Amino acid sequence: MKIQAVRGFKDWLPEDFAKYEYLIKLAKNILKTYNYKEIKIPILEKTELFVRSIGEFTDIVQKETYTFQDRNKEFLTLRPEATAGICRMIIEKGLFVNPKPLKFFTIGPMFRHERPQKGRLREFYQIDVELFSPLNPHIEAELIFLAMEILKAPFSSQEKNIYTLELNTLGCPNCRIKYKEDLLKFLEENKENLCETCKERITRNPLRVLDCKNETCKEVVSKSPIITEYLCKECKDHFISLKEVLDFIGIKYIENPRLVRGLDYYVRTIFEIKAKGLGAQDTVAAGGRYDYLLKELGGPELPAIGFAIGLERWAISIFGDEENKGILESKKILEKLNPDLFIILLGKELLNKGFELATLLRKKGIRCEITYEEKSLKAQLKNADKLLAKYSLILGDEELKKKSAILRNMKKSIQEEVEFKNWEDLSTKVLKKIKNES
């Protein structure tokens, strides 16, 4: 029987890789101009880290993590997100003493045992961005602006914007006490109309019911009390200031007073960015503020805010998929996968020399293919065509004696003679011609 990949775990074929790499590069360039530093944290952490940070009673920790005991019987978990790991790193390495703001980003796979469906995988990539510092509405607004800048980078013209920002505040632990009480009461009263999962959530994690994707739950929740009516003066003022800054810098947003996050540690500002054309799983990026997480994990009290972009969903919103077209043609990006040049050698004696020439061309950055086969010109040209090579360079014994080669533009089916003094000269000339024409 054929062995298949684990459900919800995806291969990246070269075409996928090219698209993801393109997006990652854009994101990295922007992040660096905002002075974010790239880091890498482990994929595997002690289970306790996630229990203490994300919260024991969240969906993620209760049923979505890949948790197991290793050979030493230690409980380990494949990271479901990166924030907790970054906090652990900051505490463990004592980075909290460094000048503020501390700004980090990391890009890599996250693991959640969810039901695989369109836009929902069990291994997925996140571009995770975190900022640790005393916060103010300007810093928060700038971080939200940054998330938008990254998402829009592949097209960056105003009219094409396919992303909408949803904004809410979760208040501080103080405003949440009374709110949670009232929400709990409301949910208890409407219990029979909630799905089975939400019935369990009521006591464990009532806020999460607001995030249920089930239609009948959504219906119930649409009449629930909203946090914005329970805010203390400071939280209310803070939220107003944040919105003023967003207005000032020209970021449009929709206030969604029932927006919550799946993780326990958020306070005050939270946001989601949704994209058109993604169906039910339309949140491309999400984030918020978490002032007490570092302290909870044994570090000092240091406010923080961050967001994560789901790479696969972002890619679908840009390049489309089987169902929707996307807003950018991937053709140009995928063309980069094709060889610039296919080297055709006619004659056994030429094989060693061809090796030399290919190495020189590659050192100059030309994407070269060469198969070292003693096949006819016709057969080799056919192969070059199949491999979608842009050019072929044809060399035979006769031509070599005359110090000339043939460079063939495969698409246009035109060719020209290139005279040369030596390999170095030939490779320089070929590079020049290819560059000029592309």
Binding residues: 81-83, 112, 126, 130, 261, 265-266
Q: Strand pairing partners for 396?
A: 346
283/404 with CB nearer ligand ATP: 283
81/291 with CB nearer ligand ATP: 81
Compute the radius of gyration of the chain from its Cα atoms.
28
Q: Does residue 124 interact with ligand ATP by CB under 6 A?
A: yes
Question: Looking at 137, 171, 206, 262, which residue binds ligand ATP (CB under 6 A)?
Answer: 262
Answer yes or no: are the C-beta atoms of 391 and 407 closer than 8 Å: yes
Residue count at the site for ligand ATP (CB under 6 A)? 18
Strands 37-38 and 102-111, by their bridges, are parallel
Question: Looking at 310, 354, 368, 405, which residue binds ligand ATP (CB under 6 A)?
Answer: 310
Q: Does residue 141 interact with ligand ATP by CB under 6 A?
A: no
- From the CB of 127, what's the least distance to ligand ATP, in Å? 9
- Scanning 35-43, 195-203, 241-249, 307-315 for contacts with ligand ATP by CB under 6 A, the matching segment is 307-315
Answer yes or no: are the C-beta atoms of 91 and 99 closer than 8 Å: no
For residue 302, give both structure tokens: 């240091």
For ligand ATP, which residue has the nearest CB?
310
Q: SS3 letters for 167-211?
A: EEECCCHHHHHHHHHHHHHHHHHCHHHCCHHHHHHHHHCHHHHCC
Q: Can you tell me whether residue 241 is helix, strand or coil?
A: helix
Q: Does residue 285 interact with ligand ATP by CB under 6 A?
A: yes
213/401 with CB nearer ligand ATP: 213
H or E element, residue 142: helix 137-152
Answer yes or no: are the C-beta atoms of 143 and 194 closer than 8 Å: no
- From the CB of 270, what's the least distance to ligand ATP, in Å? 9
Answer yes or no: are the C-beta atoms of 47 and 76 closer than 8 Å: yes
Q: Does residue 121 interact with ligand ATP by CB under 6 A?
A: yes
Closest CA to 399 of 429, 419, 377: 419
Q: Does residue 308 interact with ligand ATP by CB under 6 A?
A: yes
112/152 with CB nearer ligand ATP: 112
Please list, in sequence order, all residues whose beta carbon lies within 8 angstroms of the beta carbon of residue 209, skipping any fewer than 6 positions away: 187, 194, 198, 201, 202, 217, 221
Closest CA to 87 of 141, 124, 39: 39
Longest dimension (CA), the chain: 92
47/359 with CB nearer ligand ATP: 47
- What is the per-residue binding string for ligand ATP in 101-120, x denoting contact by CB under 6 A? -----------x-x-----x
- Touching ligand ATP, residues 71-100 (CB under 6 A): 81
Q: Does residue 264 interact with ligand ATP by CB under 6 A?
A: no
- Touching ligand ATP, residues 222-261 (CB under 6 A): 261
Q: Does residue 168 interact with ligand ATP by CB under 6 A?
A: no
197/241 with CB nearer ligand ATP: 197
Phi, psi (rounded to 5 degrees) for 170: -100, 5
- Please report, in range form, the residues annotated as the binding site for L-histidine: 81-83, 112, 126, 130, 261, 265-266
Q: Does residue 281 interact with ligand ATP by CB under 6 A?
A: yes
Q: Does residue 126 interact with ligand ATP by CB under 6 A?
A: yes
Judge residue 177's burial from the number of C-beta atoms within 10 Å of its C-beta, 0-12 exposed, 13-18 middle, 19 or more buried: exposed
Q: Does residue 312 interact with ligand ATP by CB under 6 A?
A: yes
Q: Under the rule (CB under 6 A), what is the footprint of ligand ATP? A: 81, 112, 114, 120-121, 124, 126, 261-262, 281, 283-286, 308, 310, 312-313
